[in-house]
Structure 1
Amino acid sequence: MIDELEQAEAAVVACFDTPVWAAGERDLVAALDAVHRVEQRLAAVKLALVRELDGRGTATAQGASSTAVWLRDRLRLGVGAARRLVELAATLDAAPPGVRDALAGGSVDVEQARVIAATVETVHAAAGTEAADKAVGVLVEWAAQFDAALLRKLGTRILDHVAPEVADAAAEAVLRAQESRAMRDRHVTISEQTDGRIRLTGILDTEAAAALRAAIDPLTTPTGPDDARTPGQRRHDALADICRLALRTGDIPQNGGDLAQVVVTTTYDELTRQLTSGALDTGLHLTPEAVRRLACDAAILPAVLGGTGQPLDVGRQRRLITGPLRRALVLRDRGCAFPGCDRPPRWCDAHHIHHWADGGTTNLDNAVLLCGHHHRHVHHSDWAVRLGDNGHPEFIPPAWLDPDQIPRRNHYHRRN
């Protein structure tokens, strides 16, 4: 396979080096069609490889929390794109052979294949294997004329074509299947943007959507005739108000031993004289005005930093040492310190580098933040962790993964 792929890559490079300006319009269109077919066939090969690697557990064996996270680092994909790749590989693996054959043959694209597989799954549940096999042929034929969105709409009435005798009776079963998929597909994704903002996307099931609307709608009405906010801005502000209200209730579960809280870090000089900016414990920054506004309704906790940004002393909010030490770890590690992990501090545990049971001390020089997956992985694998020359954690991979055992660091979290 490697030899064949290398030949294909060489052929693609040769095509890229061929000037297209001299080709006629008919040849350009034919070349575009050919490129699209090759692209879909390569996608089929890629999905087969992803499915096999996922089934073998390669990602977790190399320390990643999932195949999607491993693909993100290996192929430099967005984690959303990597997750969709894994899901599609699993979907096509379970689909009838006709769906995979259509993708490999270049007669459908990846999104059409996804729609066909989901539709055929519904048909199989409602009318059995024979009807499902017929549905594959009909949908692949339709795919030559319609894109994925239209194919999905047409698929809602596929039973009229492949099993008219059960179409009406199956309508309720289809609705139940759709409800089941809605429960399965529910998710919320929080993606950090380059300028410090986040993009919030997701799919809510019917019940959660109703709760969200009930909570947000009363807060999205304009405050008066001079309210120049757009509807989207009003929904944004309403969501922020609901989060602040929830934080004030005190009923939110603790995170790593601390009550839910927003931590803003600034220097003593900036706080007592002319404030410049502040940093959240997520690594993002706030304007001076935002820090002043938060300080009006907050408990001020001193955090003294050294010249390299290392926490030297952390103010005590309560008697137990776990609170201040955890805040110091958050200031230093910004999240899970394992290479390639982007889990935020609230998902992390404090791990003793030299185990406490073996005489290790509970202090900042002997602690590191790890998410639940990597905390277990470090305890049960040959990875080693230590503090580097700059005081930040670095991880030494096992020899089977890297014979040179070059220390690795996490580059996903911003550091001082």
Structure 2
Amino acid sequence: MPSEGEPHILAEIAERHARIGREQLALLRAIGRLDPEAPWVREGARDLPHLLAMRLGVSEWKARRWVAAARRLPELPGVAEALASGALSLDKVVELTRFATPRDEAGLIRWARHVSVWAIRRRGDLLERAPVREDRRAQRDRRAEWWFLQEERRFGLLAHLPAAEGAALAAAIERWAERVPAVPDEDGELPDLAARRADALVAMAQASLAAEDRADRPTVVVHTRLEPSGGPTPGAELERGPVLHPETARRLSCDARVQVVLEDGHGNALRVSPVRRFPPEWMLRQLRYRDRGCVFPGCGTTAFTVAHHLRHWSRGGPTELDNLALLCSFHHRLVHEDGWRLRRDGDVFAWLRPDGRPYRPGPPPPAPAGPPRPAPADRPRPALAAAAQARCAPGPAP
């Protein structure tokens, strides 16, 4: 039986939820004032969702949904009011803005109040007729990430795939799930379907590892020539590839097997370096353990990372942990091709923009010291907005 005080607590929760909805609406409107087509690379990001994900500490999937919703809200005042009043949660609004129109938003709002977020998302999926460019974007944005939950002794896995490839993966997992023996637990209970799928995924990986040994990374053979004066030419050339800027060649050689061929002006080899691999596996393990992902402020990506030499080995930089930093492929390109600089300052990494100015991401807003106080309607409340976002942000796509 509910206690006598619980109705008051529920009323307080509802009131706070409505207050958070108003702040979330203000957040989306602020996002809507940013230009999604601006070259956000100057802030160290691929695009606006990438920037928001790093600055706000949310998933890129979530940030991308926020940007899309922010662009639709001006033409959907009813949906905006439903969010501000607490009638609809941010999760529902983000999904509803995918397909609602000014003509049908009133009816959709009434419907959305009584269904789950999944039902709204499903309706959007059925109504959307994605153009070809969306298929290309899905292919471009494909990724798989994993992480360890140390305290719970668990391993997490997240994948974003184009629909067709995802369906193929699901079919393979289902087929393996039928083959994997169902082992009862200590209470004699057989695993459910979700557990059998997890067992199937592990079995697929083990079968792949047993079938063939892990191949070494390919050797990057870089050809560079001397001018008659004895100085090197501005470019370098891969053995099976185009002419590269020297910085691009350095980026490719950061985490690979490398062989440098020094040639004269006629293409004759003057000197061939031994094949070297930088860094060795034991050092990579230590580096991944130390940095725990890309060291660009707010990034932390663990997929497709490379060991970057702060002072490149071709310039005398040692292959030692103190001279290495873990970078994702995007921020690795920023360093080598876009003029960003990275140095180590004690236990932290300092980033410099191409113009030499230090890169300092915006500090997080201060947390409120006590219960939120009423503020004038015409003045934003950044602390409450940040708290609302942190507590009520939508989760990742299933």
Q: Contact 1:336–1:348 at 8 Å: present in 2 too?
A: yes
- Equivalent in 86, 91, 97 of residue 76 of structure 2: 97
More helix by share: 1
Q: How far apart in 1 are the matches of 2:351 and 2:144?
A: 33
User: Is 1:394 aligned with 2:349?
Assistant: yes
The residue that corresponds to 1:208 in the other structure is: 166
Counterparts of 1:375-386 in structure 2, within 5 Å, are 375-379=332-336, 380-386=338-344
Q: How far apart in 2 are the matches of 1:383 and 1:186?
A: 28
The residue that corresponds to 1:198 in the other structure is: 155
Q: Contact 2:69–2:97 at 8 Å: present in 1 too?
A: yes
The residue that corresponds to 1:108 in the other structure is: 88
Normalising by structure 1, what TM-score?
0.52
Q: Contact 2:304–2:328 at 8 Å: present in 1 too?
A: yes
Q: How far apart in 2 are the matches of 1:84 and 1:147?
A: 18
Q: Contact 2:148–2:155 at 8 Å: present in 1 too?
A: yes
Q: How far apart in 1 are the matches of 2:69 and 2:184?
A: 51
Q: How far apart in 1 are the matches of 2:327 and 2:142?
A: 26
Q: How far apart in 2 are the matches of 1:348 and 1:23?
A: 52
The residue that corresponds to 2:286 in the other structure is: 332
Offset at 1:87?
Answer: 1.7
User: Is 1:217 aligned with 2:208?
Assistant: no
Identity value in percent:
24
Q: Contact 1:255–1:347 at 8 Å: present in 2 too?
A: no
Q: How far apart in 2 are the matches of 1:343 and 1:325?
A: 20
Unaligned runs of 5+ in 2: 221-256, 260-272, 362-398
Provide, for residues 89-148 of structure 1, a one-character-per-residue CA deviation record: whole Å limited to 9, x for no partner.
32341353333344345443212212322232xxxxxxxxxxx33211211233455454
Amino acid in the other structure paired with 2:191: T
Q: Contact 1:189–1:202 at 8 Å: present in 2 too?
A: yes
Normalising by structure 2, what TM-score?
0.54
Offset at 1:64?
Answer: 5.0
Q: How far apart in 2 are the matches of 1:47 and 1:137?
A: 20
Offset at 1:175?
Answer: 7.6
Provide, for residues 24-44 of structure 1, a one-character-per-residue CA deviation record: whole Å limited to 9, x for no partner.
95x766654433322111111
Which segment drifts farther, 133-142 or 36-45?
Answer: 133-142
Q: Contact 2:37–2:47 at 8 Å: present in 1 too?
A: no
The residue that corresponds to 2:386 in the other structure is: none
| Residues 1:102 and 1:385: Cα distance change in structure 2 (over 3 Å) | same
Offset at 1:253?
Answer: 8.2
Counterparts of 1:292-303 in structure 2, within 5 Å, are none
- Equivalent in 221, 236, 240 of residue 202 of structure 2: 240
Q: How far apart in 1 are the matches of 2:62 and 2:326?
A: 28
Provide, for residues 150-209 of structure 1, a one-character-per-residue CA deviation record: whole Å limited to 9, x for no partner.
5567x58xxxxxxxxxxxxxxxx9485599989959765534313353222456635532
| Residues 1:209 and 1:179: Cα distance change in structure 2 (over 3 Å) | farther
Counterparts of 1:128-277 in structure 2, within 5 Å, are 132-149=101-118, 174=127, 176=129, 184=138, 188-195=144-151, 196-202=153-159, 205-214=163-172, 216-218=174-176, 220-221=178-179, 223=181, 230-231=191-192, 232-248=194-210
More strand by share: 2
Q: How far apart in 2 are the matches of 1:108 and 1:65?
A: 31
Amino acid in the other structure paired with 1:241: A
Which segment drifts farther, 38-47 or 219-228?
Answer: 219-228
Q: How far apart in 1 are the matches of 2:115 and 2:207?
A: 47
Report the RMSD for the aligned CA atoms in angstroms: 4.8
Offset at 1:330?
Answer: 1.0
Provide, for residues 5-55 of structure 1, a one-character-per-residue CA deviation record: whole Å limited to 9, x for no partner.
xxxxxxxxxxxxxxxx99995x76665443332211111111233444573
Amino acid in the other structure paired with 1:44: L
The number of residues matched between the two structures is: 289
| Residues 1:23 and 1:181: Cα distance change in structure 2 (over 3 Å) | farther
The residue that corresponds to 1:35 in the other structure is: 16
Amino acid in the other structure paired with 2:150: T
| Residues 1:62 and 1:146: Cα distance change in structure 2 (over 3 Å) | same
Offset at 1:256?
Answer: 7.9
User: Is 1:119 aligned with 2:75?
Assistant: no
